[in-house]
Amino acid sequence: MADAGVMRPMPHTARGAGVYNQKLGMWVFLGSEIMFFTALIGSYVILRVGNPGAWPEHGPREVLAIPITAANTFLLICSSVSMVKAFAAASVGDQKGLRLWLIATVLMGAAFVSVQAVEYTELVHKGFVPSAGLFGSTFYTMTGFHGFHVSVGVICMIYVTIRAFRGKYSAADHRGIEVIGLYWHFVDLVWIILFTIVYLI
């Protein structure tokens, strides 16, 4: 009560988690995303342990193209780096760097989805479809929902890029960049897990 008369400097971070609303909100939302992928990945692990016979004997590589996907994985990792570089540029007010890195991120994100689309087409031509046993079901559901998340990320990123070109972000306020970055890295992180357990194991 002693501080009753004291002017409040920034009340909304003083009692909170020490972060601004949008960033906290994104982290909270990512908590629910973790649980969503838990449902999908958890089901995959359970089904695989319970029905090992539903997968090819020598692992998914009998059907899936590992080299292309490894390259695609690398592409997504690169887009994460460019995202974080955009954030670093924004935090020092480097508008040119921010725009360049954002465009790079958008392009690599879009390229990732495109490669996935090509991969799907080829797999379907080979007869590997979602109704092809548990392998097909889990593969398309997990990678499909990941691809959906990447696509949403790309759309949001285009919006952010447009705002960046309008000079909406400064060294003082670049919350939007950091928040979309968190989402983007999370999607990258999920892919790292998916690549290992869906393609390699």
Residues in 74-93 that interact with another protein by CB under 8 A = 74, 77-78, 80-81, 83-85, 88, 91
Using CB under 8 A as the binding rule, whether residue 13 contacts another protein is answered as: yes
- Pick out residues in 100-139 that bind another protein (CB under 8 A): 130-131, 133-134, 136-138
Q: How far apart are CA 19 and CA 35, in angstroms?
A: 23
Q: In angstroms, give the least distance from the CB of 161 to another protein.
A: 19
Q: Which of 128, 173, 177, 180 binds another protein (CB under 8 A)?
A: 173
Query: What are phi and psi for residue 56, nearest 5 degrees?
Result: -60, 150
Judge contact between 143 and 41, C-beta under 8 A. no
Judge contact between 176 and 57, C-beta under 8 A. no
Q: Which of 47, 100, 111, 156 binds another protein (CB under 8 A)?
A: 47
Q: In angstroms, give the least distance from the CB of 165 to another protein.
A: 21
CA 89, distance to chain mean position in Å, is 21
Q: Which of 64, 73, 160, 161 binds another protein (CB under 8 A)?
A: 73
User: Among residues 113 and 179, whose Cβ is nearest to another protein?
Assistant: 179
User: Among residues 51 and 121, whose Cβ is nearest to another protein?
Assistant: 51
Using CB under 8 A as the binding rule, whether residue 61 contacts another protein is answered as: yes
> What is the dihedral sign for C-alpha 102, 108, 114, 116?
negative
Using CB under 8 A as the binding rule, whether residue 151 contacts another protein is answered as: no
- Under DSSP, the state recorded for 58 is T
Q: How far apart are CA 105 and CA 112, in angstroms?
A: 10
User: Among 114, 85, 90, which Cα is nearest to 184's?
Assistant: 85
Q: Which of 124, 145, 158, 163 binds another protein (CB under 8 A)?
A: 145
Q: How far apart are CA 70 and CA 195, in angstroms?
A: 8
Using CB under 8 A as the binding rule, whether residue 96 contacts another protein is answered as: no
Using CB under 8 A as the binding rule, whether residue 159 contacts another protein is answered as: no
